[in-house]
Amino acid sequence: MNHDTKLPRGTREVVSTHSVFGAPCWVSLTSRDLETTQDFYTAVLGWRWRTGRLGDRFRIALADGHPVAGIAAVASMWQMAVAWTPYFAVRSADEAVSRVQERGGTSAVGPISFPPGRAALLADRDGATFGIWEGELVSDWETWRRSSPAFIRLHTRDAFDAAIFYGEVLDWASQRPGCCEVHYEGGEVVLRSGGDVVARIVSGALGAAPDPTIRPHWQVHFAVHDVPACARTAEQNGGSVLSKSDDEAVLRDPDGAQFTVTSRRER
């Protein structure tokens, strides 16, 4: 979902999902308490904030002055799970939703209008939640993609089967100008957009696992310079550490949303 409808001074041509499609184009967090959420991510990731046109419940997170992610404090109001969700650019939200349903996935919300575009919240046939966005991309999107502040990885039952599902829904490897490239490297499916690695898909998740971290899900990673410091700060600010190494840590914010911080050199 594109929470950012303000174009900063000096912004170049606005990029649309009609010219760049199939790629991850945004990550968004649904939370319960906006102030607590902002304080936590400011402390852990050093983000700053600005508002858009969608109202007081929405914020844009900035890193080094560039948009990184969106926060929507609507989990309680809309009875949605507190979670980080990746959004993919599509030419047509209606067509993408139909494709998901035809292939055994489900539609939870939408498509609904969020000017300047339309969004839907979906799940693939293994239950992993993701979103789609049709319309203008976040301002300065090319900088967002190239700086790679956010990266996503799908933990799923079968990476090859998942790649087929998403490829058919999102027109991956369709030979259309602007589509994403799909490669199989080291047992993973690797997705590239404009030559940049933008997502990975790995096998091994268990659909019926009681632990939600083991079930199929999209994991959002944020690139940081000091993983151990982020983990310590998360605990000091009401979050928790689910796993940790020198190069990567899986964290949970005070609301329960799970995300990963990854060393910039390891992504």
Q: Spell out the domain ranges in the chain.
A: 23-263
Tokens coding 174:
């369709």
Q: What pLDDT is attached to residue 117?
A: 85
Q: What pLDDT is attached to residue 142?
A: 66
Contact 72, 87 (CB under 8 A): no
- Residues in the chain, how many? 267
Smallest CA-to-CA distance from 73 within 257, 263, 261, 260 is with 257
Q: What pLDDT is attached to residue 76?
A: 61
Q: What pLDDT is attached to residue 122?
A: 95
Q: What pLDDT is attached to residue 151?
A: 85
- Give the predicted TM-score (pTM) of the model: 0.88
Place of tokens 């799923």: 156
Q: What pLDDT is attached to residue 197?
A: 86
Tokens coding 185:
């490297």
* Crossing angle of the two packed helices 159-170 and 93-102, in degrees rounded to 10: 140
Q: What pLDDT is attached to residue 207?
A: 75
Q: What pLDDT is attached to residue 141?
A: 62
DSSP per residue over 190-259, as a string?
EEEETTEEEEEEEE---TT-SSTTTSSEEEEEEEES-HHHHHHHHHHTT-EEEEE-SSEEEEE-TT--EE
Q: What pLDDT is attached to residue 78?
A: 60
Q: pLDDT tens for residues 40-95?
A: 999 999 999 988 766 677 898 988 888 889 998 776 666 677 899 999 999 999 99
Smallest CA-to-CA distance from 101 within 77, 79, 74, 132 is with 132
Q: Please tell me whether residue 3 adopts helix, strand or coil conformation.
A: coil
Element (H, E) at 97: helix 93-102
Q: What's the fold here for domain 23-263? A: 2,3-Dihydroxybiphenyl 1,2-Dioxygenase; domain 1 (3.10.180)
pLDDT, mean of each 10-residue run, the chain (267 residues)? 48 64 89 91 95 77 86 70 91 95 92 86 95 81 64 93 96 84 90 87 84 87 93 96 92 94 73
| DSSP-assigned beta bridge partners for residue 143 | none
Contact 57, 38 (CB under 8 A): no
Alpha carbon of 5 to those of 59, 133, 248, 262: distances in Å?
A: 11, 14, 32, 29
